[in-house]
């Protein structure tokens, strides 16, 4: 009985122990950083010897290790160590003059399930495989020989089985473009096992199967980091922080993080871009010149509804999911905005894909796969414009969204389009509708040459979750007869947004009194956006 009581009183938990300073610590950036990391920092006007890059003070780490049960990892960026400890040890640590603060670690995440289809795809699955890159204008990148060449991408995930053997990645292995790997939970270099989620994600960035691209950045370089452990739901935060510092050191220009972290002790109102250490790290990575591309999460149809962290970070691209068969937001994709009303998602991509699994091709769904599609897109943009600063790269990807400057909290600015980077006058589109105010009502009328009366028979939009029952994409991919409407208030966030299926010329009407005062209305239809002030 005595031992049971002792265990309950001093049960082990994970904590961050933050230090006060790095006094007298030495650092040489030219010995520490990869050449690409130095080049990236110079482009982004970030110092090479920033205090966040200095190592921790060894005497502080040693003193903590003598008190706690185990020091798990260190973070230079936040001058802290992650430890296994208990309440009595925490009490002692708080009395040390070099301990600034302590914080309990309590984030968790889940990896996406998938369905194995082997290498022989059905016709509709082959169409999806082609469409997942074509939807972003991948053929235009191909035409201009843009494929992410020379851009270094880090992938944080649960494992990469078969990446070292699968034909989907042969072109990458052949040219030695897997630069480094690290398994953070096991503290070893082997990542070629464990959960196949990372393999699928990587294929959506750069895979090629039977000559068909699965992602756009087929000539990029890669850093593969295993950060997730299914059996240890509270281990990932310290692994993510260790991985982002490792990626920075080794010259990553883009990070794909296909997982959103949530917390039993947090609420949606905590997703404000400042609460978690992961979101702070994502924003700091952006300051250091790294574009973080993160999935919004798959809670859109659940109780949570909104994004996990670090998708709430203000300086990263947060990616929503669309349904290829409706070309709209897919029901599981988490919604924005952030708790402090910032625009999220930034852009969207297919949330249903064909990917390379552990041994075969798989069909799978989740914003976990929307994110790598956009990461590959961003890699192509960076190849075309190698001197772009990270925030300019982020803005350019947003502006390439087909709905831009319209946005909403389901789609962001829409699906990025390669055409934005090649076509002149890419922000000037022909007017596709008229508006009028009559009897205190705002009317939206589709112009004759942009209205197809035979659309009436297609207005019933169906959503699917079973790949075996999908109609052919060719039957539904053209259903872009959607009118987008939002009302933005004077604080620059949305009071309301709607998507209207257009089956008559008088597409939409709304009483002016429902809009309110000091509001901005934006209406988007077939590439044209009109803005009205009320």
Together in a domain, 45 and 141: no
User: In tens digits, what is the pLDDT along the chain, a chain of 534 residues?
Assistant: 433 433 444 578 899 999 999 999 999 999 999 999 999 999 999 999 999 999 999 999 999 999 999 999 999 999 999 999 999 999 999 999 999 999 988 756 555 555 555 556 777 788 889 999 999 999 999 999 999 999 999 999 999 999 999 999 999 999 999 999 999 999 999 999 888 999 999 999 999 998 999 999 999 999 999 998 764 444 567 888 999 999 999 999 999 997 666 555 455 555 555 567 888 999 999 999 999 999 987 767 666 666 677 778 889 999 999 999 888 999 888 888 887 888 899 999 999 999 999 888 988 888 899 999 999 999 999 999 999 999 999 999 999 999 999 999 999 999 999 999 998 766 678 999 999 999 999 999 999 988 875 444 333 333 333 333 444 444 444 446 889 999 999 999 899 999 988 888 999 999 999 998 999 999 999 999 999 999
The number of distinct structural domains making up the chain is: 3
Is there a single domain that holds both residue 91 and residue 123?
Answer: no
Q: What is the CATH number of the domain that holds 8?
A: 3.30.70
Q: Are residues 275 and 321 in the same domain?
A: yes
In a domain, 336, yes or no: yes
Same domain, 478 and 387: no
pLDDT for the residue numbered 278: 85
Distance CA 356, CA 215 (A): 11
In whole angstroms, give the CA distance from residue 285 to residue 292: 7
* pLDDT per residue as tens digits for the range 197-238: 999 999 999 999 989 999 999 999 999 999 987 644 445 678
Q: Give me the pLDDT at residue 504, please.
A: 87
Domain residues for the domain of 500 are 433-533
Task: Give the side-chain half-sphere CA count within 13 A for 210.
Answer: 10
Do 304 and 333 share a structural domain? yes
- Please indicate, yes or no, whether residues 150 and 72 belong to a single structural domain of this protein: no
Please say which residue of 420, 442, 458 terminates a domain: 420
Choosing from 84, 105, 126, the residue where a domain stops is 105
Question: Which residue, among 227, 233, 293, has the nearest Cα to 258 in the 3D structure?
Answer: 293
Look at residue 428 and tell me if it is in a domain.
no
Q: Are residues 171 and 265 in the same domain?
A: yes
- Answer yes or no: do 472 and 453 share one domain: yes
> Could you tell me if residue 426 is inside a domain?
no
327 shares a domain with 188: yes
Same domain, 414 and 300: yes
Q: Which residue has the tokens 């390669």?
A: 418
- ∠ CA 329-334-336, nearest 5°, is 95
DSSP assignment of 128-189, as one string?
HHHHHHHTTTHHHHHHTT-S-TT-EEEEEESB-TTTTT-GGGHHHHHTT-EEEEEETTTTBS
Structure tokens that stand for 92 in this block = 């002692």
Task: Determine the pLDDT at residue 379.
Answer: 99
| Residue at 27 is within a domain | yes
Which of 101, 219, 102, 211 is closest to 153 using CA atoms?
219
* Whether residue 205 sits in one domain with residue 158: yes
* Chosen domain end from 105, 138, 169: 105
**What is the pTM for the complete model shown?**
0.90
Q: pLDDT tens for residues 309-334?
A: 777 888 999 999 999 988 899 988 88
Residue 427 counted as domain residue = no
155: tokens are 């992938």
């Amino acid at each position: 009985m005595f031992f049971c009581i002792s265990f309950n009183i001093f049960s082990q938990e994970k904590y961050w122990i933050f230090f006060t300073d790095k006094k007298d610590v030495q650092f040489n950036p030219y010995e520490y950083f990869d050449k690409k990391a130095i080049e990236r920092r110079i482009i982004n006007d970030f110092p090479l010897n920033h205090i966040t890059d200095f190592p921790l003070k060894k005497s502080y780490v040693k003193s903590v290790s003598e008190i706690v049960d185990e020091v798990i990892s260190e973070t230079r960026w936040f001058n802290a160590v992650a430890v296994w400890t208990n309440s009595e040890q925490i009490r002692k640590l708080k009395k040390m003059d070099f301990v600034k603060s302590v914080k309990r670690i309590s984030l968790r995440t889940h990896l996406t399930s998938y369905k194995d289809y082997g290498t022989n795809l059905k016709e509709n699955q082959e169409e999806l495989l082609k469409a997942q890159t074509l939807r972003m204008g991948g053929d235009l990148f191909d035409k201009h020989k843009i494929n992410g060449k020379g851009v270094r991408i880090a992938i944080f995930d649960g494992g990469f089985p078969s990446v070292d053997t699968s034909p989907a990645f042969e072109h990458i292995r052949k040219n030695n473009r897997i630069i480094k790997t690290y398994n953070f939970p096991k503290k070893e270099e082997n990542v070629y096992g464990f959960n196949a989620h990372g393999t699928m994600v990587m294929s959506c960035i750069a895979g090629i199967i039977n000559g068909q691209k699965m992602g756009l950045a087929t000539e990029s370089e890669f850093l593969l980091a295993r950060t997730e452990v299914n059996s240890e739901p509270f281990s990932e935060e310290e692994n993510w922080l260790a991985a982002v510092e490792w990626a920075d050191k080794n010259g990553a220009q883009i990070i794909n993080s296909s997982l959103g972290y949530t917390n039993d002790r947090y609420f949606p109102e905590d997703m404000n871009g400042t609460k978690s250490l992961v979101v702070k790290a994502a924003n700091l990575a952006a300051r250091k010149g790294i574009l973080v591309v993160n999935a919004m999460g798959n809670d859109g149809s659940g109780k949570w509804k909104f994004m996990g962290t670090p998708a709430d970070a203000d300086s990263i691209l947060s990616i929503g999911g669309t349904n290829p068969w409706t070309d709209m937001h897919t029901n599981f994709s988490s919604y924005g905005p952030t708790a402090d009303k910032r625009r999220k998602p930034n852009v969207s991509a297919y949330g249903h894909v064909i990917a390379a699994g552990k041994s075969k091709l798989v069909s799978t769904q989740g914003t976990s796969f929307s994110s790598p599609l956009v990461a590959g897109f961003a890699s192509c943009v960076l190849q075309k414009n190698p001197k772009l600063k990270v925030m300019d790269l982020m803005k350019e990807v947003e502006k390439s969204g087909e709905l831009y400057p319209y946005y909403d909290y389901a789609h962001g600015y829409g699906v990025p389009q390669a055409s934005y980077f090649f076509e002149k006058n890419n922000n000037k589109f022909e007017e596709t509708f008229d508006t009028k105010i009559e009897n205190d009502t705002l009317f939206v009328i589709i112009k004759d040459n942009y209205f197809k009366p035979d659309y009436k028979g297609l207005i019933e939009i169906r959503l699917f979750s079973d790949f075996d029952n999908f109609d052919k994409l060719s039957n539904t991919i053209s259903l872009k007869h959607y009118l987008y409407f939002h009302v933005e208030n004077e604080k620059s966030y949305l009071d309301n947004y709607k998507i209207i299926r257009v089956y008559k010329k008088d597409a939409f009407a709304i009483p002016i009194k429902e809009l309110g005062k000091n509001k901005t209305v934006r209406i988007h239809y077939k590439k044209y956006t009109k803005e009205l002030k009320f």
